Amino acid sequence: MINTRDILETIHMIEDENLDIRTITMGISLLDCCCGDITASCRKIHDKIMRLACRLVDTGNEISKEFGVPIINKRIAVTPVAMLLAASGGDPVRYARELESISNELGIDFAGGYSALVQKGFACGDEALIRSIPEALSQTAHVCSSVNIGSTKTGINMDAVALMGQTIRATAEASAADNCIGAAKLVVFCNAPEDNPFMAGAFHGAGEPDCVINVGVSGPGVVRNALSKIPGGDLTDVADTVKKTAFKITRVGQLVALEASKRLGVPFGIVDLSLAPTPAVGDSVAHILEEMGLETCGAHGTTAALALLNDAVKKGGTMASSHVGGLSGAFIPVTEDAGMVRAAACGCLKIEKLEAMTAVCSVGLDMIVIPGDTPPEVISAVIADEAAIGMINHKTTAVRLIPAIGKKIGEHLDFGGLLGGGPVMALNTASPAAFIARGGRIPAPIQSLRN
């Protein structure tokens, strides 16, 4: 029989330390739904998604109950809608409304893929889709949008960067009455992964199979608790403990992914072995860093601690899953992490430190509330900086900023639920306007020439 201690440890992780499966995300290719007529396109999308995902929510709930582990979200990710728009033309917001109506029908939590990949330039459909994002996100609740504006292989499309600065602002303004929530569903990527199960950046890449199951795990609370048991251990002990814990967390993800794949008759894609925090007390990545010995997240030493954590999570998780993908690492979304919110509110965690942290963690400047009067070119410049870090370091970086319309530094913006809430953080106000206005492309770096 299984060791009693192991059984109780698993139950303790789930009951008291917030171990959960963050999401089962079904990736669905819509390439075969492309049509010259947008009405026909929408009908085909509806039929295909309903056919493939009709059992997604029920299956997730059944697995959750049988294994006794919570599965928080069931989501779908689709082919970047800009690709469909290229064929169909018409008003792109109709696709957003179609995805919204499908989400309601299926009872899923999010639908990702209102996206465009423009790292090297705008193809047919791309610009129209980007310009429709403010309207699409303010008129829907479940649809998420992402735009890839750079990569190590192609450099950075600065015209797209300039456009995204305006788009983020316009999206916040369009949903100002609803806590600017539109901007929380929009992410700008450099080196976007094509199999990411996490929102807002999930989309189904062109190289993916027709339909696939990807799973994202969570569990910062479990890691923190494991570290609290070795207060005197050195950093090698810390890394080893994180590895062992990440292994266990990821194994649950792998088990759920295989089971979901079997029951839905859809191939298993990847497990994204991310540490994804939630606003719940005890489910914070910042608290893990503090458990390692920092007074507050944001103190000098934070980047080193995060680098150790991110690396150890990957080492432990890789061994536990047959296919690892997506973003995989530690997330640092400010509003979704109680420890980050506290550190930001007390002034210890600033945007510059967060930027440094993004060089060593799995994503980027995530869920950061900025002043409502921030000019678009400043937002663009933040995106450019972040994309440069990703481009040079062969990693995914992302920017998800929420301009809090009508609010100033120090005020609070609340979304509720998994998105949490946080203080308006200060940005550097010196103008990058002339730099952003130059446009063009930042050439691919020498690192791209690896052949």
Partner 1 sequence: MRAVITVVGKDMIGILARVSTLCAENGVNIAEVSQTVLQDMFCMIMLVDTAKCKISLSEFTDLMNDEGAEHGLAIHVMREDIFDSMHKI
Nearest to partner 1 of 69, 383 (CB atom)? 69
d(CA 313, CA 269): 20
What DSSP string describes 11-49?
HHHHHHS---EEEEEEEE--GGG--SSHHHHHHHHHHHH
Nearest to partner 1 of 270, 427 (CB atom)? 270
Name the minimum Å distance from CB 3 to partner 1: 7
- Cα–Cα nearest to 150, from 197, 116, 184: 116
Name the minimum Å distance from CB 249 to partner 1: 8
Nearest to partner 1 of 262, 408 (CB atom)? 262
Nearest to partner 1 of 76, 223 (CB atom)? 223
Residues 6+ apart with CB under 8 A from 276: 22, 198, 216, 217, 218, 220, 331, 336
- 3-state DSSP of 271-309: EECCECCCCCCCCCHHHHHHHCCCCCCCCCCHHHHHHHH
What DSSP string describes 378-406?
HHHHHHHHHHHHHHHTTS-EEEEEEEETT
Name the minimum Å distance from CB 358 to partner 1: 31
Nearest to partner 1 of 80, 316 (CB atom)? 316
Give, in degrees to the nearest 5, the angle at Cα 425 between 336 and 388.
85
Name the minimum Å distance from CB 214 to partner 1: 18
Nearest to partner 1 of 1, 430 (CB atom)? 1
Name the minimum Å distance from CB 41 to partner 1: 38
Residues 6+ apart with CB under 8 A from 213: 24, 25, 26, 27, 257, 260, 261, 264, 266, 267, 268, 269
The answer to whether 103 and 74 have CB atoms below 8 angstroms apart is no
List Cα–Cα distances, 72 to 23, 203, 227, in angstroms.
6, 19, 25
Name the minimum Å distance from CB 17 to partner 1: 13
Name the minimum Å distance from CB 254 to partner 1: 7
Name the minimum Å distance from CB 329 to partner 1: 21
Nearest to partner 1 of 71, 184 (CB atom)? 71
Name the minimum Å distance from CB 172 to partner 1: 42
Interface with partner 1 (CB under 8 A)? 1-4, 6-11, 15, 62, 65-69, 248, 251-252, 254-255
Identify the H or E element spanning 74: strand 71-78
Nearest to partner 1 of 2, 446 (CB atom)? 2
Nearest to partner 1 of 249, 370 (CB atom)? 249
The answer to whether 323 and 269 have CB atoms below 8 angstroms apart is yes
